[in-house]
Amino acid sequence: MDRVRIREKIVTKSTEIILRDGYSKTTMDAIASALGMSKKTLYQVFPSKRDLLKSILATWQKEVEAGIEDAVFRNKGPFRAKWVSVVEFTASQYGRFGAGFVEDLHKTDPETYQVLDRFRTGLVHKCFRVLAEEGIASGVFRKEIDPAFLSEVYLAIVQATLNPATLDRLNTTPEKAYRDVVSLLLDGISVERT
């Protein structure tokens, strides 16, 4: 197997394990074992667990950005279908995170956490505002709603809700919390109740 395919295999399996179990709780031994390879081989491809994490997040960010951009910019269907596809895709991505992944990353590698947070913020500013503008133009959202303000409100609600302390207090998962936030926000700004 060539180095590129080995790297892809490592990233794919490691993503599953680290997102589920958390960054600090996952060892390179556990990853090597799950892959059926030696730790030496793993370290030849990724010299450290942090290098592996950066690769995992870079790959995940590309997937998320491509998925959201497809739903927002290339989906030519009716607005509500586009909105639902964005929500479903985003919820499925939040569903990949174990309950403590984000908090674990925030505590153990704040620099990488900040990169992830800036990515999320940038994606909201880039895509959600376009959705808000389209929702207003298509008559689904009220005309007096400012798309920039709506996108800031959406971002603030998502950031406040999808943090470990809030998820724990609500006894919910990131995926369910995200769906509930979007449902509340959409029902609050819709011309018609869904």
Question: Per-residue confidence of the chain (194 residues) as pLDDT tens digits?
Answer: 688 899 999 999 999 899 888 889 899 999 999 999 999 999 999 999 999 999 998 998 999 899 988 888 888 888 888 888 887 888 788 778 776 787 788 888 889 888 888 888 888 888 888 888 998 998 888 899 898 888 888 888 888 887 777 878 888 887 888 888 888 877 666 556 54
User: In this structure, is residue 49 part of a structural domain?
Assistant: no
- Which residues form the domain of 88? 56-189
* CATH classification of the domain holding 110: 1.10.357
User: In this structure, is residue 151 part of a structural domain?
Assistant: yes
**Which pLDDT value is given to residue 192?**
60
User: In this structure, is residue 172 part of a structural domain?
Assistant: yes
pTM of the model: 0.77
**Which pLDDT value is given to residue 52?**
94
**Which pLDDT value is given to residue 35?**
94
**Which pLDDT value is given to residue 14?**
94
User: In this structure, is residue 122 part of a structural domain?
Assistant: yes
**Which pLDDT value is given to residue 105?**
84
Q: What angle do CA 27, 28, 30 make, to 5 degrees?
A: 65
User: In this structure, is residue 33 part of a structural domain?
Assistant: no
**Which pLDDT value is given to residue 107?**
87
The rounded distance, in Å, linking the Cα atoms of 192 and 142 is 10
DSSP secondary structure of 122-180: HHIIIIIHHHHHHHHHTTSB-TT--HHHHHHHHHHHHHHHSSHHHHHHHT--HHHHHHH
**Which pLDDT value is given to residue 11?**
94
User: In this structure, is residue 31 part of a structural domain?
Assistant: no
User: In this structure, is residue 120 part of a structural domain?
Assistant: yes
User: In this structure, is residue 8 part of a structural domain?
Assistant: no
Number of folded domains in the chain?
Answer: 1
**Which pLDDT value is given to residue 34?**
94
